[in-house]
């Protein structure tokens, strides 16, 4: 297809504002999916996505659309992931498009995530088509929200389209407008090939399927291609377009969007943001914007049943094929046994991975408190990267830095005070504030990532009765006054509970953990002190009092088989006990203490 006939776009929307429903409707209107094959949310393939209503991986669909009296165009719809942990993938999807449909629920208005992605699209010079969705709802307020959107992108409220993905109203007009308003792709057809990878998905049968947008030149089947970041070369076994099922083709030229199959088995060999070129006639310069995924949040993952460890290892190896951002290494804990220290892009990524491990591999897991990556500089100048509290150096510390994020919060203006208070307790710095309308405000903060990791979103929601939305992106590091707090049972450190926290919060953490463990650990034959300490300095202390517990005493005079049963039961119970020094701790106590309530 010549570039003049191509339009590449994505849909920017907040979760639940109706992106999948609208996409379904477009597939139907353009006739690429027949009515009888249609199932809801056709493009959301992963079970977790479907159940949680989120899109984790972006995909592309090619749809024909005829404009009255002007013949047929090819529309490529590039889906964007909808969550804050995947900002980089969103940015690559945007970079593959000339325009974006800004889709906003007409009963809700724009949300922080959408706003952040809108700014990203505007920075990339994308043409924005503003659209209010769900106008069929009785609670829709299209006038109000059209004015808000018009103010944000600087257009006339009249230019904000009104559609309903549910009834289909306005959808053909939207497809027309995409053709009319979006620029056709431009590129040099005679130059060496350059295609940008905007997604890369592992498929059990086909290996890695790489989605690309061709910028210059062309790619054809059977030629050898080079990944410019690694210089790795592969034979192009198949090249094609998704409409939405894969259809092999004879090649992709300037502006086209499609998939490549090379037989590689690991998405790490086909990284989002990388440039694909041809080995025979390679481009000299890669496209800009390539970044390696960087894990931001770390947590220990342990099987509750220690014998599941090999299953966990295999499961991580499998997930990794599909997830270039997932990193892990083996780790042992005195309290939890054998497990892995795993790095994630953020909390949602952590939850998704954990849920997939539990669901797809039938594992019961316990995860330790998530932490971020710290850089510790010692007095002697040595620098240590800490992704696990146990790596925290013991020597004299000159400086510690922690990652910070730039956060955007959107909320009704009545909650400004509550939000400021929350951000203050989380060590935030207000960077700016703008009113989108008299009732709605955008607040910008710099916050330590570690503070966001600990239930920030829940706290924000509960203080704003669910009305606030949040988006954030990494924004470098800052120096901070941090300490490592250890929890000790009878003088022995319980590694799974060590945490790196701000000095002002160390005491609260220590008291809370010691209190929890006192409740959860059964009495022993001897008194057990539970302490929280910073180095050698104890900051909190509880005591589990001694008890003499003779199970057989209860069966005095009872028959011998009952006694035996009791003894066996006790033995059974012992297996699930972990020894910390000379203290017996039921594994349940660790699990309960680690679960965030
Ligand atoms: P996504 O998270 O943006 O992909 O949103 P979905 O397409 O999954 O839609 C979220 C919810 O809104 C679902 O319950 C849809 O049925 C509903 N929905 C989507 N579009 C419309 C619409 O135009 N009108 C109404 N009334 N409901 C809609
Ligand atoms: Mg969806």
Kindly report, residue by residue over 142-179, the tens digit of the pLDDT. 999 999 999 999 999 999 999 999 999 999 999 999 99
Q: Give the other-Cβ count within 10 Å of 552's Cβ.
A: 11
Residue with tokens 């909808």: 82
How would you write 475-518 as a 3-class SS string? EEEEECCEEEEEEEECCEECHHHCEEEEHHHHHHHHHHHHHHHH
Q: Which pLDDT tens digit goes with each residue over 379-412?
A: 999 999 999 998 999 888 999 999 999 999 999 9
- State the pairing for strand pair 194-203/275-278: antiparallel
Q: Which pLDDT tens digit goes with each residue over 443-486?
A: 999 999 999 987 898 899 899 988 888 888 889 999 999 999 99
Determine the Cα–Cα distance for residues 389 and 506; give it in Å rounded to an integer: 14
Q: Which pLDDT tens digit goes with each residue over 177-213?
A: 999 999 999 999 999 999 999 988 888 788 888 999 9
Predicted local distance difference test score (pLDDT) of residue 551: 54
What element of type H or E holds 244? none
Range from 208-222, 553-567, 583-597 that averages highest in pLDDT: 208-222
Give 370 Cα–ligand 2 centroid separation in angstroms.
27
**Confidence band, pLDDT 50/70/90 cuts, at residue 561:** low
507's tokens = 């005491």
- The yes-or-no verdict on residue 529 having pLDDT over 90 is yes
Determine the Cα–Cα distance for residues 427 and 404; give it in Å rounded to an integer: 10
Determine the Cα–Cα distance for residues 367 and 593; give it in Å rounded to an integer: 11
Q: Is 164 in the pocket of ligand 1 (CB under 6 A)?
A: yes
Ligand approaching nearest to the C-alpha of 57: 2
Q: Is 125 labeled as ligand-binding?
A: no
Predicted local distance difference test score (pLDDT) of residue 56: 38
CA 117 to chain centre: 15
DSSP H helices in 365-480: 416-425, 449-453, 456-463
Q: Is 15 in the pocket of ligand 1 (CB under 6 A)?
A: yes
Helix axes 112-123, 87-95, angle to 10 degrees: 40
Determine the Cα–Cα distance for residues 538 and 313; give it in Å rounded to an integer: 37
Which region among 46-60, 127-141, 222-236, 326-340 has the lowest average model confidence (pLDDT)? 46-60
Q: Is 1 labeled as ligand-binding?
A: no
- The yes-or-no verdict on residue 565 having pLDDT over 80 is no
Ligand approaching nearest to the C-alpha of 165: 1
Q: By alpha-carbon position, which residue is closest to atom 11 of ligand 1?
A: 16
Q: Is 137 in the pocket of ligand 1 (CB under 6 A)?
A: yes
Q: Give the other-Cβ count within 10 Å of 44's Cβ.
A: 23
Ligand approaching nearest to the C-alpha of 18: 1
- The yes-or-no verdict on residue 59 having pLDDT over 80 is no
Tell me what the mean pLDDT of segment 236-255 comes to: 92
Atom number of ligand 1 nearest to Cα 137? 26
Determine the Cα–Cα distance for residues 498 and 235; give it in Å rounded to an integer: 49
**Confidence band, pLDDT 50/70/90 cuts, at residue 346:** confident
Give 15 Cα–ligand 1 centroid separation in angstroms.
9
Mean pLDDT of the chain: 88
How would you write 176-217 as a 3-class SS string? HHHHHHCCCCCCCCCCCCEEEEEEEEEECCCEEEEEEEEEEC
Determine the Cα–Cα distance for residues 484 and 402; give it in Å rounded to an integer: 13
DSSP H helices in 257-398: 309-321, 347-360
What element of type H or E holds 540? strand 537-544
Q: Is 469 in the pocket of ligand 1 (CB under 6 A)?
A: no
Give 163 Cα–ligand 1 centroid separation in angstroms.
12
Q: Is 169 in the pocket of ligand 1 (CB under 6 A)?
A: no
The four Cα atoms 350, 354, 360, 362 give a dihedral, to 10 degrees, of 170
Q: Give the other-Cβ count within 10 Å of 288's Cβ.
A: 9
Atom number of ligand 1 nearest to Cα 21? 7
Q: Is 107 in the pocket of ligand 1 (CB under 6 A)?
A: no
Determine the Cα–Cα distance for residues 270 and 264; give it in Å rounded to an integer: 8
Q: Is 20 in the pocket of ligand 1 (CB under 6 A)?
A: yes
Q: Residue 5 contacts by C-beta under 8 Å, 6 or more apart in sequence?
A: 71, 72, 73, 74, 184
Q: Residue 500 contacts by C-beta under 8 Å, 6 or more apart in sequence?
A: 371, 374, 386, 389, 392, 450, 482, 483, 484, 485
Q: By alpha-carbon position, which residue is closest to atom 14 of ligand 1?
A: 16
Contact at 8 Å (CB) between 60 and 242? yes
Predicted local distance difference test score (pLDDT) of residue 55: 40
Give 16 Cα–ligand 1 centroid separation in angstroms.
6
Determine the Cα–Cα distance for residues 182 and 184; give it in Å rounded to an integer: 6
Atom number of ligand 1 nearest to Cα 54? 2
DSSP 8-state code for residue 535: T
Q: Which pLDDT tens digit goes with each residue over 62-96?
A: 999 999 889 999 999 998 876 667 788 888 999 99
Contact at 8 Å (CB) between 229 and 196? no
Contact at 8 Å (CB) between 449 and 402? yes
- State the pairing for strand pair 528-534/537-544: antiparallel
- What is the full DSSP assignment across 7-57? EEEEEEE-TTSSHHHHHHHHHHHTTSS-GGG--TTTT--SHHHHHHT---S
Determine the Cα–Cα distance for residues 143 and 158; give it in Å rounded to an integer: 9
Q: Which pLDDT tens digit goes with each residue over 486-517?
A: 999 988 888 888 999 999 999 999 999 999 88
DSSP 8-state code for residue 306: G
**Phi and psi, residue 179, nearest 5°:** -65, -45
Q: Is 8 labeled as ligand-binding?
A: no
Contact at 8 Å (CB) between 485 and 499? yes
Mapped onto helix, strand or coil, the DSSP state of residue 110 is coil
């Amino acid at each position: 297809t010549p570039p003049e006939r191509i339009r590449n776009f994505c849909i920017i929307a907040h979760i639940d504002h109706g992106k999948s429903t609208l996409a379904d409707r477009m597939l139907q209107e353009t006739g690429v999916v027949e009515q009888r094959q249609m199932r809801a949310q056709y493009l959301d393939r992963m079970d977790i996505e479907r159940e949680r209503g989120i899109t984790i991986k972006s995909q592309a669909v090619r749809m024909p659309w005829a404009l009255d009296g002007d013949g047929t165009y090819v529309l490529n719809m590039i889906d964007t992931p909808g969550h804050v942990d995947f900002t980089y993938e969103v940015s690559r999807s945007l970079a593959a498009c000339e325009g974006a449909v800004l889709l906003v629920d007409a009963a809700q208005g724009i949300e922080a995530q959408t706003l952040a992605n809108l700014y990203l699209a505007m920075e990339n010079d994308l043409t924005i088509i503003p659209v209010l969705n769900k106008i069929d709802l009785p609670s829709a307020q299209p006038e109000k929200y059209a004015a808000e959107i018009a103010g944000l992108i600087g257009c006339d409220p009249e230019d904000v389209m009104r559609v309903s993905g549910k009834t289909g109203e306005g959808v053909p007009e939207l497809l027309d407008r995409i053709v009319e308003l979006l620029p056709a792709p431009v590129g040099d057809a005679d130059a060496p090939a350059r295609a940008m990878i905007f997604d890369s998905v592992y498929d059990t049968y086909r290996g890695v399927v790489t989605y690309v947008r061709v910028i210059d030149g062309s790619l054809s089947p059977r030629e050898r291609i080079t990944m410019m970041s690694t210089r790795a070369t592969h034979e192009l076994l198949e090249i094609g377009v998704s409409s939405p099922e894969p259809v092999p083709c004879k090649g992709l030229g300037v502006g086209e969007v499609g998939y490549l199959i090379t037989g590689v088995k690991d998405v790490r060999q086909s990284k989002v943001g990388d440039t694909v070129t041809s080995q025979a006639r390679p481009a000299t310069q890669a496209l800009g914007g390539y970044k390696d995924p960087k894990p931001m949040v770390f947590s220990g993952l342990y099987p509750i049943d220690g014998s599941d460890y090999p299953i966990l290892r295999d499961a991580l190896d499998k997930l990794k094929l599909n997830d270039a951002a997932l990193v892990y290494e083996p780790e042992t804990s005195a309290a939890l046994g054998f497990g892995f220290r795993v790095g994630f892009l953020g909390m949602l990524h952590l939850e998704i991975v954990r849920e997939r491990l539990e669901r797809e591999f039938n594992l019961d897991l316990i995860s330790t408190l998530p932490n971020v990556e710290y850089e510790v500089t010692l007095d002697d100048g040595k620098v240590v990267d800490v992704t696990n509290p146990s790596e925290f150096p013991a020597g004299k510390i000159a400086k510690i830095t922690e990652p910070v994020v730039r956060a955007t919060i959107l909320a009704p203006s009545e909650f400004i005070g509550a939000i400021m208070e929350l951000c203050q307790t989380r060590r935030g710095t207000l960077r700016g504030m703008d009113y989108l309308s008299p009732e709605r405000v955008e607040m910008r903060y710099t916050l330590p990532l570690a503070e966001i990791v600990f239930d920030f979103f829940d706290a924000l929601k509960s203080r704003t009765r669910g009305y606030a939305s949040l988006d954030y992106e990494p924004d470098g590091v800052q120096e901070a006054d941090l300490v490592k707090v250890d929890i000790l049972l009878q003088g022995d450190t319980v590694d799974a509970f060590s945490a790196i926290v701000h000095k002002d919060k160390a005491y609260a953490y220590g008291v809370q953990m010691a209190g929890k463990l006192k409740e959860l650990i059964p009495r022993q034959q001897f008194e057990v002190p539970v302490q929280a300490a910073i180095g050698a300095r104890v900051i909190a202390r509880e005591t589990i009092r001694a008890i003499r517990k003779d199970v057989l005493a209860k069966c005095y005079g009872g028959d011998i088989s009952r006694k035996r049963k009791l003894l066996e039961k006790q033995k059974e119970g012992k297996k699930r006990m972990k020894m910390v020094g000379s203290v017996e701790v039921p594994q349940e106590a660790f699990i309960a203490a680690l679960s965030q309530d």
